[in-house]
């Protein structure tokens, strides 16, 4: 009985061992021979586009502020209104300023009458002095009085001009063609030149600026690829604008300025592109994306999902003639199109790389090559 039990145990152990061995061999065959898609790296000339976040700003955003103190009696525009240069936007209560003009006009009239009287007196004194009827002292007093009256007339006229100017300031006009921003003060509000907030803003929108940034590395790469020297701006390609609704703006833009310094905190240069805004679609303060085109000659293009990263270094799995994979470090062009990298170092034309399932690979693993149509 004991011998029979022992034989049974031995048979069971051997069966389990054989089963485990078969399972292990089956798993090894599965792991060591995965069928994966590969591609042969070939040189080509490629056109790329890369997007950069941008903020929109009008050519001029002009604060509209009162130059006198008073209550707003009329608002002639609304937020978003298109206005012309010189158009009246707001009306400030005119009563006190009209009164000031009337008083100034009356003062001018009085001063003119005083001057006329002083002229007659001076002429009479001169006639009498020439005949030695009065002394030269009396003549000089009369002439001085005339000079004083003339000065008072000039002062009265200046005060009239000032009063008329203040009256004109009751009509707040647009300094340029543009679009009205948010209106902070309306009818009944007391406004003055010393208040901190503007009444509103007029944005000159015939040309709209898109401000964005490029890292120093990308800026240098762009300059190199376009064979640019110190006068970078003149030779940069036209750019597109993707609006916040993902539509591509119908007009191309021109890069006008690149900041002369790199921001130490961001490591990037500020760039401004100008777009015509003939239809008034673009609004100051909006957001968009700049699409920057560039081309690379004889570049080696690979899918981004064929790469993996270790400590900020990029690698791919290359495949040799024996279908064995090995990790290879590569260097890439700083700009990319979001789905592919242009390899500048680490690969040569004709090399084969794995472009799928790279997370399950390791150096020395043999794979089965699946044909690829790329």
What is the per-residue pLDDT for 96?
97
* 54 found inside a domain: yes
Could you say which of 179, 197, 215 is where a domain stops? Answer: 197
What is the per-residue pLDDT for 314?
94
Considering the domain architecture, whether residues 228 and 349 belong to the same structural domain is answered as yes
Considering the domain architecture, whether residues 143 and 219 belong to the same structural domain is answered as no
Long-range contacts formed by 303-306: CB under 8 A, 24+ apart: 303/39, 303/339, 303/340, 303/341, 303/355, 303/374, 304/336, 304/338, 304/339, 304/340, 304/341, 305/355, 305/356, 305/358, 306/39, 306/353, 306/354, 306/355, 306/356, 306/358
Classify 216 as helix, strand or coil: helix
Could you say which of 168, 189, 219 is where a domain stops? Answer: 168
Classify 198 as helix, strand or coil: coil
Smallest CA-to-CA distance from 242 within 257, 254, 255, 252 is with 252
Considering the domain architecture, whether residues 209 and 298 belong to the same structural domain is answered as yes
Query: How does pLDDT run across 318-344, given as a tens digit for each residue?
Result: 999 998 999 999 999 877 777 889 898
Residue 348 structure tokens? 């040569």
Could you say which of 197, 216, 250 is where a domain stops? Answer: 197
Classify 113 as helix, strand or coil: helix
Considering the domain architecture, whether residues 233 and 350 belong to the same structural domain is answered as yes
- Asked whether 282 and 212 are in contact (CB, 8 A), the reply is no
* 83 found inside a domain: yes
* 288 found inside a domain: yes
* 39 found inside a domain: yes
Considering the domain architecture, whether residues 252 and 214 belong to the same structural domain is answered as yes
C-alpha span between 319 and 40 (Å, rounded): 10
Considering the domain architecture, whether residues 117 and 232 belong to the same structural domain is answered as no
Residue 143's domain comprises: 94-168
C-alpha span between 96 and 99 (Å, rounded): 5
Considering the domain architecture, whether residues 212 and 355 belong to the same structural domain is answered as yes
C-alpha span between 219 and 232 (Å, rounded): 10
DSSP 317: E
Smallest CA-to-CA distance from 186 within 81, 79, 82 is with 79
Smallest CA-to-CA distance from 257 within 219, 217, 218, 204 is with 219
Residue 74 structure tokens? 């009329």
Classify 273 as helix, strand or coil: strand
* 21 found inside a domain: no
| CATH number, domain with residue 84 | 2.40.50.100
Considering the domain architecture, whether residues 363 and 232 belong to the same structural domain is answered as yes
* 309 found inside a domain: yes
Considering the domain architecture, whether residues 123 and 89 belong to the same structural domain is answered as no
- Element spanning 354, H or E: strand 352-354
Considering the domain architecture, whether residues 366 and 246 belong to the same structural domain is answered as yes
Considering the domain architecture, whether residues 267 and 127 belong to the same structural domain is answered as no
- Report residues of the chain scoring pLDDT below 70: 1-32, 223-235, 371-374
Phi, psi of 332 (to 5 degrees): -125, 160
| CATH number, domain with residue 43 | 2.40.30.170
Considering the domain architecture, whether residues 208 and 351 belong to the same structural domain is answered as yes
What is the per-residue pLDDT for 29?
46
Which residue's entry shows tokens 């002639």? 76
Polymer length in residues for the chain: 374
* 17 found inside a domain: no
Q: Residue 294: CB partners within 8 Å, gap ≥ 6?
A: 47, 48, 49, 50, 222, 225, 226, 237, 335
What is the per-residue pLDDT for 338?
78
What is the per-residue pLDDT for 32?
52
- Asked whether 75 and 186 are in contact (CB, 8 A), the reply is yes
Which residue's entry shows tokens 């961001």? 266
Q: What is the number of structural domains in the chain? A: 3
| CATH number, domain with residue 150 | 1.10.287
* 113 found inside a domain: yes
């Amino acid at each position: 009985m004991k011998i029979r039990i022992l034989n049974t145990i031995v048979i069971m152990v051997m069966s389990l061992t054989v089963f485990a061995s078969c399972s292990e061999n089956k798993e090894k065959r599965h792991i060591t021979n995965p069928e994966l898609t590969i591609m042969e790296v070939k040189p080509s000339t490629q056109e790329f586009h890369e997007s950069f976040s941008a903020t929109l700003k009008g050519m001029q955003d002009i604060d509209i502020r009162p130059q006198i103190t008073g209550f707003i009696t009329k608002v002639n525009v609304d937020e978003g209104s298109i206005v012309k240069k010189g158009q009246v936007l707001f009306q400030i209560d005119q009563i006190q300023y009209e009164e000031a003009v009337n008083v100034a006009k009356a003062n001018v009239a009085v001063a003119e009458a005083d001057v006329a009287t002083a002229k007659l007196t001076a002429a009479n004194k001169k006639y009498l002095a020439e005949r030695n009827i009065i002394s030269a002292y009396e003549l000089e007093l009369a002439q001085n009085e005339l000079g004083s009256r003339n000065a008072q007339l000039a002062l009265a006229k200046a005060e009239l001009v000032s009063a008329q100017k203040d009256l004109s300031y009751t009509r707040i006009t647009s300094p340029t063609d543009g679009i009205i921003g948010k209106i902070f003060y309306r009818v009944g509000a007391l406004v003055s030149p010393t208040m901190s907030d503007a009444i509103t803003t007029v944005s000159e929108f015939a040309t709209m600026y898109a401000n964005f940034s490029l890292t120093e590395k990308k800026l240098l790469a762009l300059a190199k690829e376009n064979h640019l020297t110190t006068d970078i701006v003149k030779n940069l390609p036209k750019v597109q604008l993707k609006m916040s609704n993902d539509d591509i703006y119908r007009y191309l833009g021109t890069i006008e300025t690149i900041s002369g310094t790199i921001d130490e905190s961001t490591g990037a240069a500020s760039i401004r592109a100008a777009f015509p805004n003939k239809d008034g679609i673009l609004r100051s303060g909006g957001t968009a994306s700049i699409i920057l085109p560039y081309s690379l000659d004889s570049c080696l293009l690979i899918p981004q999902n064929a790469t993996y990263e270790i400590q900020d270094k990029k690698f791919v799995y290359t495949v040799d003639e024996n279908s064995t994979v090995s990790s290879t470090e590569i260097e890439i062009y700083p700009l990319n199109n979001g789905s592919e990298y242009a390899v500048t170092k680490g690969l040569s034309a004709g090399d084969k790389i794995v472009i799928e399932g790279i997370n399950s690979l390791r150096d020395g693993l043999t794979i089965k090559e699946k044909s690829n149509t790329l």
